[in-house]
Structure formats: structure tokens, C-alpha cells
Structure 1
């Protein structure tokens, strides 16, 4: 595995998970001149899996350009994107508290998919993987949903929840990759880093 990589993600969880893997990294974040949000636009008829992989690839291309433009030393660049899907419906990050309530009402009592795509680029070489897991929420009452949203935790999270936070009290079952649900599947990430050596 590489002794050092760039992480093109604002997620503190992804940074913590890379540290858990023993991978030294430095953040390579978009500047104000970049329209990073537009990369996450969902195309009509696009499946959740196609969407998350396309968005991750676009983020990686932007980050590779960023490294070059800033004249930073060469090292692998890692990007990831997580999306929550109930059937073919994608639940991105909530726009506001009302949007978070709407999402959690839809996920309550249901099993949904969590897809995290990871892409790593070095020079012209790009390696990509996608982890798919399932999360089952117990039925949540209106007051439980509103109390959780009031905690502020759902904001900035795909599907309006964090598996490693307060939401764990409402999750009855998980299958797949716990770290993938958190935002960076460590097994797939380690395999991708190995493939670049």
C-alpha cells in the first residue's frame, strides 16, 4: 500500500477510516473557483449504482486536475461518494430539516441500499470499486424522527443519517460493509491501493 495519498473529501469519517488503515494522507479539497456541487447532479433514469460511480469518477478527474494545477508532488488521489437508495429512488444529503424529516419518514421501517464508490488515480491509472450494503430501519415515530433531525446529525449526510451516530438506536439490521456505510469501504480501498503498486 502507498505510504501517502491525497484525500479529495471533506468527510472527517473518511479521513478517520484512512488513518485506521494506516494510510497517511493530506486533504486535497476543491477551491472556491470549483463548482463541486454540480458534479453530484442526478441524471434522469440513472440507476443509483451508475450515479454513484459516475459522480465519484468525475470527482476524481477534478481532484487530479487540482493536484496538477497546485503543483503538488505526485501521489495517488482518492475520491469517494456515498448514496442511499430505496429501490431506484436516491436520497442525497438533505437540503434542510424538513427534507431530512421527509427522507427519514420514507426510510422508517424499510430496508434500503447504501452504495459507496471509491476511485483512486495515479498518473493515467485509475482504479475504481463500489461497495453495496443494506440497512434496515425500525419503524420510527414522528417524534423520534423530529428529535433526531433536531440533533443536527442528519445534515450533510446521504439519506439524512449517520450509521455511527445517534441513528444506530433505530437501525435493526445491517448487511454488507459497515465502513462502506460510513463512507469508505476499507476492504475495497485497501485492494485498490494495492492494485496501484
Structure 2
């Protein structure tokens, strides 16, 4: 059985795979995350996931590597990780009372496979007061997350409903990922 590597330092992605009782290693990838501004969100997340997985696989060619990337999109605008508190406040204010989309791309790379896919989930927020946004910012949770929130933590209080894969919003669509891993020849 080939060794499985998660090309990520994300504690959320690691936890999702640990919950499935998979045996894997984590290796952080340091890749250029710039992209062509003409690309669609789907293209962006799949390409960045592929870059991450490929960079790690090159150092471990006997393994199967999973790479992943997530973006939040509101009105065709990509919301990355906030630069500071003001940026996070602005992002959350722009999501208040509205629906946005979360795209997560996954790449699975091995000697014999190069698989790329994405999942899109629509997320609707409650109408948020400035006090609610500031209370959330005070938790410190939003600052390392695309769109300035994490659905699995205190950010769950902002979410009115979702349509799609919850785990994709967390950072890794686990059910689809496992199915694609099996296609790539991985067995746990």
C-alpha cells in the first residue's frame, strides 16, 4: 500500500482525514499561489490544489498526495484570507444577509494518477450587526480563513443555511476525496 500524504498545514484538513481514521502524513507545500485573473473560481482552486500536491509529490514520488485549496466568492469577487481586522470586518459585512459560494479544489497526484476536481457549496449568512461581527472578530478565528470565517467554529453562528457539501466549506470534501482516492488505487 502506498503512503498517503496531505500536502497541507491546515489543521482543519488534517482533522477531517484523521476523523476517517486514515493513516497519512502531512507535508506543507510552499508554492506560488498567484493565478491568472481571467480564471474561474473552479480553475483557481483546482490549479492551486494541483500545484500543492505536485510540489510535495516531487519530493515523495512513491506516494499518493492530496492537495486542496479553498476560495470564497461573492458577486464574482474572490475573498481570500483577510489582511487585518478591518479587512475581515469588511468581508463579513459584505457577506451579511447574503448568499456566497465556497469552492474547494482537490488534486490527487501519484506516479500513475493526476486527478483534479472541485466542489461548490452555497452559504447563506444571517443579517449581521456590527456588534456581532466585532464579537466574532474578537474570537481570533477569522484571520487565517478565506472569506474571514470558519463554518466549523464560532463562524457557525453566522450561517443561516448551506446548499452543498459542508466539509468542502471546512476545506476538504471528504466523501468525494475518498472516492477519488480509491479510483487512484489507494486502499486504507
TM above 0.5: yes
Aligned residue number for residue 169 of structure 1? 157
Find the residue that maps to 2:106 and give its secondary structure. Answer: strand
Normalised TM-score (structure 1): 0.88
Find the residue that maps to 1:29 and give its secondary structure. Answer: coil
Query: Which of these residues, 50, 60, 67, is aligned with residue 60 of structure 2?
Result: 67
Normalised TM-score (structure 2): 0.92
Q: Which runs of 4+ in 1 moved over 6 A?
A: none
Aligned residue number for residue 150 of structure 1? 138
- Tell me, yes or no, if the aligned pair for 2:33 and 2:48 is still in contact at 8 Å: yes
Aligned residue number for residue 116 of structure 2? 128
Give yes or no for the alignment of 1:179 onto 2:179.
no
Q: Counterparts of 2:83 and 2:166 in 1: how far apart (Å)?
A: 25
- Number of aligned residue pairs: give it: 185
Q: Unaligned 5+ residue runs, structure 2?
A: none
Find the residue that maps to 1:84 and give its secondary structure. Answer: strand
Find the residue that maps to 2:178 and give its secondary structure. Answer: helix
- Tell me, yes or no, if the aligned pair for 1:93 and 1:160 is still in contact at 8 Å: yes
Moved more, 103-112 or 17-26: 17-26
Query: Which of these residues, 154, 160, 173, is aligned with residue 148 of structure 2?
Result: 160
- Tell me, yes or no, if the aligned pair for 1:9 and 1:80 is still in contact at 8 Å: yes
Aligned residue number for residue 13 of structure 2? 14
Aligned residue number for residue 41 of structure 1? 34
Deviation string, structure 1 residues 20-42 (Cα, Å, up to 9, x no partner):
22211111123xxx4x3xx2224
- Tell me, yes or no, if the aligned pair for 2:7 and 2:66 is still in contact at 8 Å: yes
Instruction: Please report how far the alpha carbon of residue 127 of structure 1 lies from its aligned counterpart in structure 2 after TM superposition.
Output: 1.2
Aligned residue number for residue 48 of structure 2? 55
Q: Counterparts of 2:22 and 2:94 in 1: how far apart (Å)?
A: 37
**RMSD between aligned alpha carbons?**
1.5
Q: Counterparts of 1:24 and 1:87 in 2: how far apart (Å)?
A: 39
Aligned residue number for residue 101 of structure 1? 89
